[in-house]
Every structure is written in structure tokens, then in C-alpha cells.
Structure 1
């Protein structure tokens, strides 16, 4: 089957999370993640920084409301919509404020809402630390179902897999553009979001993010380190609801190579040392 999502050049444009205290969460992202927070409804806030956007809606803590993936153009979007229809997927209404008319959503294997669209022009130039929204990683009971949906039905490309000793999937990384992964999924004892990530660009900008967190009294929960799959440098912090936030740098650019299988071990998750194994 064709790599339809890759042909559409889709990239993670924004994420929307639920929270029982949306104002507190929005204030945290404004401060910690160098964004501007605006209340856009009785129970909704939008946070924006340079090429990064985070939406907070009142609801259940740590629950993804939806993820917005922007396509390169309307032709790619329409091809992706046609692919979704041909695979028997229900085409849902677009809940995002950031996309032009014609955007659509689908429901993933763990009931997550994934929106595809063409981004509206951003008329406000935001200043601040480098860190575009980059990738979203899920936790699931069934990594095979994740891979079958995003690779098999929507045409994301497989980059890498992590395998348990018995050959079952521990992690799957899929991409919809040149970066190593747009979405990924860990086998876990729960369903939901594992983390979402922002791309710092290089090691010096990760340093600047660490200095910012330190000035705000925010401790790193993991890192600095370097992942095996993707080869990216990373740090992690946690927001007030318990969502994990990754600042990443130098993620592998994939042009044309075979899918690599990695063993499920600590050095796969962190070539430098301590790892947080999900399964």
C-alpha cells in the first residue's frame, strides 16, 4: 500500500489535552514552555509559542482531546482522506481551530482522535526559545494494532521497531515526513499518551531549555540522554497533571533505509544510561 501520509508531508502541528484544572495547565505551559496563553472559551485555553501550540480543554487529567497533523497542501489532504475512506474509516468532524476548511478527523485504535488538515496562516509571530511541536507517543496494550492502523490504513512509514525477547512488539515508530517519527507507541499497562515532544534543534538549545526550567524551579525527571531509535538527544519534565514533556534535538532524518529492529533493553531507550522501561 502507498505511504499516503508521507506523500501528504504530514507533521504534528498541535496537541490538545483535557485537564480538570485547565487554567493551571495553561499557565504552566505559558511559563515553562515559553508560550502565550489565551482563554478562548469558558473551558478552553490555547497556548502558542514559536511553531508550537498546545490546547487545554476541561475534562479528564492526562487525556488527549485530539492531535492535529498538518498536511503540506490540500491535494495531499484529499488523498489522505480518500485513503481513510477506502480503508473503511469513519470520517469525523474537525475539532481544531487551527486548520482550514476541509480538515477531517479519524478515530485511532485506542479511541484517540487524530485530525488532518492544512494549517491556517499564522498571522502572529511569536518570539521565544526554539521548540516546534515535533512528535506524539502513545501508551497502549496493543502496539500491533497501532502499527496496523497508522502504517496499514493511513500510510505512515515504519522507521524502527523495538522487540521483546519473544518477538512481540514493545515499541513502534512511524513517520509521515522526513523525521524519524511523527507518532510512536509503547506497550504499557495503560492506554493514553506516553509523552509529547518539542524539537530544540541542537544541544545548545536543550541547555537553554534546562536553564529556563531551573530558573522556574522545575526539575528534570529524565535526561539528558540519547535515544537509540531516532538517535535524538533528550530531556523530560512533567506538567502539573502528570503529562510527560520531552525536549528533543537532532532527531534522525530518514531518507531511505530498512526498518531496524532493536532489543527491548535499557540501552535502546538511553544509550547513555538510565532508562524508563514501559514494558
Structure 2
């Protein structure tokens, strides 16, 4: 169950109203590190090998998402994806070219038929993983994007990026490109906003310690602790200071060609439950509203 072209998720770029406040939150509380800064932008890395996980840009009064960055398996794979975009119904925003950003490499940008913006890169810089990973995000594990037309979005991700369907519930299509159960997921919605960004923690203890740290800093758990059905991952969901939904997760299910996708009939919970454990109440209106508020910048 792997894409022939896409290796995985590298980073997400956001616009935020206050870059200094964002730096304080994402370094002191969320526990990322500054990788680079300048020209109204800030790159933040985790403890893994990616040069950065978040690129934060000074924006206006509301947060917006600039793009989701995926890493291609090779230069040939990068070219293959670029060649698929327009036949698949998307639009190239920038051609394949050397990238002037912290991680360098070669890449291009495109917009899908509903306005979501992606960047695909190859040859970007890696770094030695940190010796200290305790309670710190390692990397991004998935991004969930809303869609008013889930079947169309699923078809586009399959045709252009080579993603396959891992599982489908009544609310989400989980899309796979590597050994992680899902890397992109498409949420049923009436808009095409960012739903949430998931950060992989070293283990379940780190997910819980992170939840306590966030609570102490005035950011309560919005949903969790729990264990999802599709993906089998542990989770705690939060809302950052600007309204972006972020998740600490761990123990993401690892899959291969033997995994068989299941549908909505296979993912039904007993009354009152929305995850395997049933400890925490379902997501409330505050989280649900935040999950449809952060829109892509116009392209």
C-alpha cells in the first residue's frame, strides 16, 4: 500500500496573526525547535530527520494554510507527479525548480480542483535526529483536509499522487502512501479547509505528558485521550492560540500490501463511543468549528 511517487509528508506552511506568539507557543509548549527565521517567516523542526515540520509566516487577522509539502521518492517521481496534475484537474502554480527555502531541494507547487495547495519536493536537506526525543514531536504523521466532495478529492489524490484508500468511515477517507496507515485523510464537510495537523510523538507516555503540559499552559485537551479505529493510533487534540487544530499522536498502525481497506459498515462504535476506548466524550462544538475555520490562501 505505497505510492510509487510520494515518500511521505514533510511539512505544513501556515499564516498566523502573530509570529512572535507562534514562536513562543510552538517552542515552549508544543516543543518544536527553531530551524530558521527571516523575512517574516519561521521554520520549526521536530526531533526527527526532517529539516522542519512547520513553516509559519506572518499573516493577517486569521490563520490560513499556505500549502502541504509532500516528499517525492525520486527526481523521476517528482516529474511524474508534475505531469499528472493538469490531466487530473489541478493547476500548476510553480514549475519544477530549485527551491529557495530552509531545506532546499527541487520542487513545484500545484492547486487541486477545490483550491487546496500542495508542494512536492525532492532532494531536500535532512539532519541527524536529535539524541533527546522525550516528550517532543518526531515528525508529522498526517494531515486531514476537509472536502465538500470527498469522492472527487479521493480520486484526485489517487490519480495525481498515487495514494490508495486505507479505510473509509462515514466521516473520513484515509489515504495511504507509505507504511503509516494514512498520511493524508479527507474529511466530509461543507468546505475545503484544514481539519487538523498530527504530530507523531515517541510513545503513548509522550502523548499523555504533552496533554498535561498543554493543559498547564492553558490549552485544554479538546478531544482525548483515546485510540482511533482506522490507524489504531493514540490521540489528544488541541487548538493552538490562533485556532489551528493540532494533534499529538503515537503508535500509528503500520501497514503493507496485505492490509485490506474497510468501509463505514466495518467502523461502527457502540452508542456513546467515537473511539476504541470510550473514555473521553465526543468532540465538542468548539473543536468542530475550529476544524472548518482555517482555509487555504487564494492561489
Q: Same fold (TM over 0.5)?
A: yes
Partner of 1:272 in structure 2? 277
Instruction: Describe how 1:147-162 pairs up with structure 2 within 5 A.
Output: 147-162=154-169
- My pick for the range that moved more, 74-83 or 138-147, is 74-83
Residues 124 and 180 (structure 1 numbering): CA distance in 2 closer, same or farther, change over 3 Å? closer
Output the aligned Cα RMSD.
2.8
In structure 2, the CA distance between the partners of 1:17 and 1:26, relative to structure 1 (3 Å rule), is same
Partner of residue 166, structure 1: none
Shift of 1:227: 0.8
Q: What does the per-residue CA deviation read over 1:163-196, in whole Å, with 9 as the maximum and x for residues that have no partner?
A: 3xxxxxx321111111111111111244311100
Aligned to 1:37: 34
**How many residues of Structure 1 are paired with residues of Structure 2 in the alignment?**
270
Q: Describe the shift of the 1:91–1:143 C-alpha distance in structure 2 as closer, same or farther (beyond 3 A).
A: same
Q: Match for 2:101 among 83, 97, 104?
A: 97
What do the CA deviations read for 1:200-246 (whole angstroms, capped 9, x no partner)? Answer: 24222223323433453432111110111111111111101111111
Q: In structure 2, what is the equivalent of residue 79 of structure 1? A: 80
Aligned-residue offset at 1:199 = 1.2
Matched with 1:167 is none
Q: In the superposition, relative to structure 1, how do residues 62 and 11 fare at CA in structure 2: closer, same or farther (>3 Å)?
A: same
Separation (CA, whole Å) in 2 of partners of 1:200 and 1:255: 22
Of 264, 277, 280 in structure 2, the residue corresponding to residue 262 of structure 1 is: 264
**Equivalent residue number for residue 247 of structure 2:** 246
Structure 1 stretch displaced more, 177-186 or 209-218: 209-218
Match of 1:185 in 2: 186
- Give yes or no for contact 1:266–1:276 (8 Å, CA) kept in 2: no
Give me the whole-angstrom Cα distance separating, in 1, the residues matched to 2:6 and 2:162. Answer: 11
Give yes or no for the alignment of 1:140 onto 2:137: no
**Rounded Cα–Cα distance in structure 1 between residues aligned with 2:205 and 2:187:** 29
181-190 or 208-217, which moves further after superposition?
A: 208-217
Hey, what does 1:55 align to over in structure 2? 55
Task: Structure 2: state its 5+ residue gaps.
Answer: 293-299
- Judging changes above 3 Å, is the alpha-carbon distance between structure 1 residues 125 and 232 closer, same or farther for their aligned structure 2 residues? closer
Judge conservation of contact 2:88–2:159 (CA < 8 Å) in 1.
Answer: no
Unaligned runs of 5+ in 1: 164-169
Q: How far does residue 100 in structure 1 lie from its aligned partner after superposition?
A: 4.0
**CA distance in structure 2 between the partners assigned to 1:116 and 1:99 by the alignment:** 13
Once residues 114 and 145 of structure 1 are traced to their aligned partners in structure 2, the CA distance between those partners, rounded to angstroms, is: 16
- CA offset at residue 266 of structure 1? 5.9
Of 267-276 and 54-63, more deviation after overlay is shown by 267-276
**In structure 2, what is the equivalent of residue 222 of structure 1?**
223
- How far off is 1:98 after superposition? 4.6
CA distance in 1, matches of 2:235, 2:129: 26
Alpha-carbon distance between aligned partners in 2 of 1:35 and 1:75, rounded to the nearest angstrom: 32
Q: Quickly say closer, same or farther: Cα 1:98–1:79, change in 2 above 3 A.
A: farther
What's the secondary structure of 2:264's corresponding residue? strand
